[in-house]
Structure 1
Amino acid sequence: MNSKTLFIYDENETGYRFNDTHPFNQKRLVLTVDLLRKAGALPDSYVNAPTSASREQLLTVHSEEYIQAVEALSFPSPETAALHVAGKYGLDTEDTPFFPRMHEVTSMVVGGSIGAVEAVLSGAREHALHLGGGLHHALPSKGAGFCVYNDAAVAIEYAKRVYGARVLYIDTDVHHGDGVQWTFYTDPDVCTFSIHETGKYLFPGTGAVSERGDGNGFGKAINVPVEPFTEDASWLECFEEVLAKAAAQFKPDLIVSQHGCDAHAFDPLAHVHCSMDVYRDMPRFIHRLAHEHCGGRWVALGGGGYDIWRVVPRAWSLLWMELSDHPLIRELERKPDLALPKSWLDEWQPHSEEALPRTWLDPVTSWTPMPRREEIELKNRHTKELAMMYL
């Protein structure tokens, strides 16, 4: 394993919890960490706890008024005045309702992502992973899409202000990385790349290929909106070809990637039909780009993922094993049917309503091909060409 790789985690991050029935369930962090430990892939020496972001750090992206609203709504019983403005700040919706200790817990999430950037840009570590992060929908003065503070945007801003870094942000979540894009839409030193299901059918409704940045940032926003029911080959074709060209042109000092794993066929909140193969292949491709273009400097964050039993632990474990160059990730190339640790399956199967997968990767040869596969692939190829028009 690469000893210069950092895993940022604190079980207290599971306190980022809206309510008992909300699909954003950070129990997936516990499941992932347990899977990695039972696989022998996460020694304690690689793990650091996050520290909270300061108010000054939050203010580099979020407005003072918004932070005050978040703080006021974080009490167990918020005052009437705070409740009256919750809607103005997007914190009274079904998607993003306020919850106790919201400011405290989300500040820790932001601090974890800043800590990952600091570890990498200071030279202390080569790569860093913060799975509690990736809250990419939050806007400067509004919560949205399960996201209160935008840790990715604050961490990128930290990289710029403290280290003068040019940052390539890569968003693999099935939902468009809108909050990060809009934060840096006119910034020539941040290139945002997002591959996602088209906003014609999916939240947040943005991320069209025509969104390319504005002013000095024109050309630095790159979107690849794919069709519903896209499968592995087409997703990876679009991802790799556009991203390779973007990275070569932009020449980043740092890559920050967001690894929502909700493009998987099992995910209940989207319509893309990818398998676990893409969650092995995308990190491998980003890893290569980091070493080709920015001396290996790579910070990876979590993100969406709503099948917390069958998808998220495997996908995020594959990400960590790629980051840390664990032997298991290479063994999967020779043994694609490699089994998950029996101890992990025995521990968690009693808690899952679905049968847990027995292997790291999915048995895709037994999956029924999607109808209209050729038509979907042709549409995605056309989108890919449009995305590369100015690269």
Structure 2
Amino acid sequence: MITENKTGYVYAHELLQYRFKNDHPFNQMRLKLTTELLVDLNALHNHHLIQPRLASDEEIALIHSYDYIQAMHHASHGILSDVEARKYGLDGEDTMQFKHMHQHSARIVGGALNLADAIMTNKVTNGCHLGGGLHHALPGRANGFCVYNDVAITIAHLIQKYNSRVLCIDTDAHHGDGTQWSFYTNDHVLNYSIHETGKFLFPGSGHYTERGSEQGFGYTVNLPLEPFTENDSYLESFKQTIEPVIKTFKPDIIISVHGVDIHYLDPLTHMSCTLDALYEIPYYIKMLADKYTDGKVLMFGGGGYNIWKVVPLAWSHVFLALIGEPKQQGPLPQKWLTKWQQYAPCSLPKTWSDECTDYPYIPRTKEISALNTKHAKQVASWFE
């Protein structure tokens, strides 16, 4: 047994090679920016680092079909036919083939599995894998910037190897569809997703009536929120529903996905939250883990497409929450600002707080909050 709490942080420069093309919105540079911000803050040290490995085809096959995995091998070498590319979801502008894509995708999975094993064998108490969180990938199809679903594979690994009851909390603005459909008939995992309603946003799923089927009925929980939801309504809806879920399900470990695209500056979504809400979420989940799972929690990254003003600041607080450091205030480290301002296409934020000079006025705040509250009460009532 470990004698003190220790946090794992999955990182290697090779994780940055998961890259579709130069102008693609999914840019792993955000992982490097976050990592260096934590180092310059003197919070992240070598003893925290967990090196990723390449997951085996057998491990990936815990979720994905063998023919799909073979197709990803072919795509890695540029020998996937156009017909197969369409079949396996690699023919669009969102998710396309790139060189060595199998290896770079398998490394993300391997990092998650190394961290999961470290937590379950008490080498660390908790940890984060901010380069992962690819929750849209389906068992037989790439989807939404995601090739292999490291979240779902990790859950399946925890069930198979440790017979764990797993609670997955997904706070990305986009519904975690790949993870949901992978376990829709399974009662060993409870999948909870709070997200912008699919009425106007990819992937279009995640209605609160999607609750699982067969023996998995009741083990899928969706809380779709209205576009332009602000901090108070988001956090109230989240806290009102997640603790009744965890009390009822009684998990052994929490897996959480921390997409930070609910921020009002994110270019791909329509939410109106600020850094205050994004800072609060991991601290609240860490509290739930301490209370209900003996501290066992594995936090993934996920979405987040304003990589200069939002993602590094928000994701830093995922790690800071795990190591028990307080939320940051005041100026950002000058070393980080000096290094990265020369590369940034915009002025970098100088402090840990949003300036909100461009925060949009939301005229329907009361109506939006009322609709969110209505759905949250409905979801919470299932667990009374």
Give TM class, smaller chain.
over 0.9
Amino acid corresponding to residue 180 of structure 1 in structure 2: T
1:258 is displaced (CA, Å) by: 0.6
Question: Is residue 383 of structure 1 aligned with residue 375 of structure 2?
Answer: yes
Supply the distance in 1 between the matched residues of 2:357 and 2:126 (Cα, whole angstroms): 34
Matches within 5 A, 1:342-357: 342-357=334-349
Please name the residue that 1:11 is paired with.
13
Please name the residue that 1:94 is paired with.
93
Maintained 8 Å contact 1:211/1:221: yes
Indicate the percent of aligned positions where both proteins have the same amino acid: 44
Please name the residue that 1:48 is paired with.
50
Maintained 8 Å contact 2:127/2:319: no
Query: Does the residue aligned with 1:142 lie in a helix, a strand or coil?
Result: coil
Supply the distance in 1 between the matched residues of 2:203 and 2:359 (Cα, whole angstroms): 29
Maintained 8 Å contact 1:73/1:83: no
Work out which of the residue numbers 338, 351, 362 in structure 2 matches 1:370. Answer: 362
1:353 is displaced (CA, Å) by: 1.7
Amino acid corresponding to residue 140 of structure 2 in structure 1: S
Question: Is residue 71 of structure 1 aligned with residue 70 of structure 2?
Answer: no
Please name the residue that 1:58 is paired with.
60
Q: Deviations over 1:123-159 (max 9, x none)?
A: 1110011111100000000000000000000000000
Supply the distance in 2 between the matched residues of 1:200 and 1:369 (Cα, whole angstroms): 22
Maintained 8 Å contact 2:221/2:379: yes
1:239 is displaced (CA, Å) by: 0.9
Supply the distance in 1 between the matched residues of 2:303 and 2:248 (Cα, whole angstroms): 28
RMSD: 1.3
Supply the distance in 2 between the matched residues of 1:349 and 1:264 (Cα, whole angstroms): 21
Maintained 8 Å contact 2:6/2:125: yes
Supply the distance in 1 between the matched residues of 2:358 and 2:68 (Cα, whole angstroms): 49
Supply the distance in 2 between the matched residues of 1:279 and 1:150 (Cα, whole angstroms): 23
Please name the residue that 2:38 is paired with.
36
Q: Deviations over 1:199-232 (max 9, x none)?
A: 0000000000100111111111111110111000
Query: Does the residue aligned with 1:322 lie in a helix, a strand or coil?
Result: helix
Deviates more, 1:352-361 or 1:376-385: 352-361
Maintained 8 Å contact 1:3/1:46: no
Supply the distance in 2 between the matched residues of 1:259 and 1:116 (Cα, whole angstroms): 16
Please name the residue that 1:278 is paired with.
277
Amino acid corresponding to residue 332 of structure 2 in structure 1: L
Structure 2 alignment gaps of length 5 or more: none
Question: Is residue 109 of structure 1 aligned with residue 108 of structure 2?
Answer: yes
Supply the distance in 1 between the matched residues of 2:29 and 2:203 (Cα, whole angstroms): 24
Supply the distance in 1 between the matched residues of 2:76 and 2:359 (Cα, whole angstroms): 45
Amino acid corresponding to residue 55 of structure 1 in structure 2: D
Supply the distance in 2 between the matched residues of 1:95 and 1:339 (Cα, whole angstroms): 36
1:368 is displaced (CA, Å) by: 5.2
Query: Does the residue aligned with 2:81 lie in a helix, a strand or coil?
Result: helix
Maintained 8 Å contact 2:16/2:29: yes
Amino acid corresponding to residue 234 of structure 2 in structure 1: W
1:366 is displaced (CA, Å) by: 8.7
Query: Does the residue aligned with 1:191 lie in a helix, a strand or coil?
Result: strand
TM-score w.r.t. length of structure 1: 0.95
1:364 is displaced (CA, Å) by: 5.2
Please name the residue that 2:210 is paired with.
211
Question: Is residue 170 of structure 1 aligned with residue 206 of structure 2?
Answer: no
Amino acid corresponding to residue 47 of structure 1 in structure 2: L
Supply the distance in 2 between the matched residues of 1:28 and 1:275 (Cα, whole angstroms): 18
Q: Give aligned pairs, total.
A: 380
Please name the residue that 1:359 is paired with.
351
Query: Does the residue aligned with 2:153 lie in a helix, a strand or coil?
Result: helix
1:369 is displaced (CA, Å) by: 4.1
Query: Does the residue aligned with 2:342 lie in a helix, a strand or coil?
Result: helix
Query: Does the residue aligned with 1:371 lie in a helix, a strand or coil?
Result: coil
Please name the residue that 1:258 is paired with.
257
Structure 1 alignment gaps of length 5 or more: none
Amino acid corresponding to residue 335 of structure 2 in structure 1: S
Matches within 5 A, 1:288-307: 288-307=287-306
Q: Deviations over 1:21-50 (max 9, x none)?
A: 110000111111111111111011111211
Maintained 8 Å contact 1:181/1:221: yes
Amino acid corresponding to residue 68 of structure 1 in structure 2: Q
Point out 4+ residue stretches in structure 1 off by more than 6 angstroms: none
Query: Does the residue aligned with 1:86 lie in a helix, a strand or coil?
Result: helix
TM-score w.r.t. length of structure 2: 0.96
1:3 is displaced (CA, Å) by: 5.0
Maintained 8 Å contact 2:252/2:296: yes
Q: Deviations over 1:148-196 (max 9, x none)?
A: 0000000000000000000000001000001001101111110001111
Matches within 5 A, 1:234-249: 234-249=233-248
Q: Deviations over 1:225-277 (max 9, x none)?
A: 10111000000011111111101110000000011100001100000010001
Maintained 8 Å contact 2:50/2:115: no
Maintained 8 Å contact 2:75/2:98: yes
Supply the distance in 2 between the matched residues of 1:288 and 1:181 (Cα, whole angstroms): 24
1:52 is displaced (CA, Å) by: 1.2
